[in-house]
Amino acid sequence: MSRYALFGQSVAKSPSPQIHTAFARQTGIPMEYVGIDVAPEALDAALDAFVAGGGRGANVTVPHKEAAFARCAQLSERARLAGAVNTLRLDEGQWYGDNTDGAGLVRDLTGRHGLDLRGRRTLLLGAGGAARGVAPALLDAGVRELVIVNRSPERADALADALGQPGRAHTRYWEDLADIGDFELVINATSAGRHGSAPLSLPFALCSDMTAAVDLNYGDVAIPFLAWARTARLRTIVDGLGMLVEQAAESFERWHGVRPQTDAVYAELRKGAPEPATA
């Protein structure tokens, strides 16, 4: 039986093992998938031990996506553009890295939630591994403008530079949020609310009647941003649970060459997590 895993910090409650177990059962592919909690300084050793124990592929979550990128001998174009990896596949003893986050987000927003992303003025909050993973896919999906804001502006600038579309992707300072107009799409890719970090403080001037709010997080971590969106009385509020399932399906296909069906898996997970607009 082939072995796969999720590497991250505080992954004990992650639904990823449940998701991939369901995919394996659905497709008839025998595999083991477990969560492995590892500190940043121990990631290299953990990956080596995983391979020595028969590991064939892995997902990578915060805070390891950029470190995983550095470990790869080969990269997909979207991983190279993102500078971050969330999917590893062992090819002839070397890691091949991909980033399925952006494809998972776009598939969830357009397919499951019926959002047309074309022409939307979009605000991306954050510039870490999660933001880097979704930014290229948002541009490919046709957003009109992508404004990147991060508390460390140099990271936002680096992401905008990597995207290479200065007319569409550019940065502003966090202090400017009250004065940069409204957006049709606001995406939270920050770690606010995670591990006791300070919650986001966002002006309602970012919103109009047409604004959709999306948090790449799910569960308790997403509560502060989703509460802000509900207080702003936005009609479209989406958490990251659907994205999690869709990016997992992309990863599964990279490993096995078969794309699993996601709707039933998403519905099962959603039973234990209220819809964001009504949470």
pLDDT tens digits, one per residue of 22-53: 999 999 999 999 999 999 999 999 999 999 99
The pTM of the full predicted model, rounded to 2 decimals, is: 0.94
CA angle 43, 125, 206 (to 5 degrees): 165
Is 89 found in the same domain as 72? yes
pLDDT of the residue at 197:
47
Strand partners, 95: 90
Q: What CATH number did the domain enclosing 28 receive?
A: 3.40.50.10860
Are residues 54 and 36 located together in one domain of the fold? yes
Are residues 54 and 142 located together in one domain of the fold? no
CATH code of the domain containing 119: 3.40.50.720
Same-domain check for residues 229 and 267: no
Q: Whole-angstrom Cα distance, residue 18 to residue 144?
A: 36
With CA atoms as reference, report the closest residue to 189 among 234, 140, 141, 137.
137
62 and 50 housed in the same domain: yes
Range of the domain at 91: 2-100+247-278
**Residue 37, number of CB atoms within 10 A of its CB:** 14
What local confidence, expressed as pLDDT, does residue 199 receive?
55
According to the model, what pLDDT value does residue 209 have?
92
Residues 165 and 232 occupy one common structural domain: yes
Q: Are residues 56 and 108 in the same domain?
A: no
Average pLDDT over residues 99-115: 98
Q: What integer best gives the mean pLDDT of the chain?
A: 94
The burial class, CB within 10 Å (0-12 / 13-18 / 19+), for 255 is: buried
Span 163-206, pLDDT tens digits: 999 999 999 999 999 999 999 999 999 987 665 444 578 999 99
Q: Is 198 helix (H, G, I), strand (E, B) or coil?
A: coil
Whether residue 92 sits in one domain with residue 109 = no
108 and 237, same domain (yes or no): yes
Q: How many domains does the chain have?
A: 2
pLDDT at position 64 over 80 = yes
Clarify whether 271 is annotated catalytic. no
The CA distance from 5 to 168, in Å, is 36
pLDDT recorded at residue 279:
41
Q: Looking at the structure, tell me whether residues 158 and 198 fall in a common domain.
A: yes
Q: In terms of domains, do 186 and 255 share one?
A: no
The pLDDT assigned to 193 comes to 61
142 and 233 share a domain? yes
Residue from 56, 64, 65, 121 carrying the catalytic annotation:
65
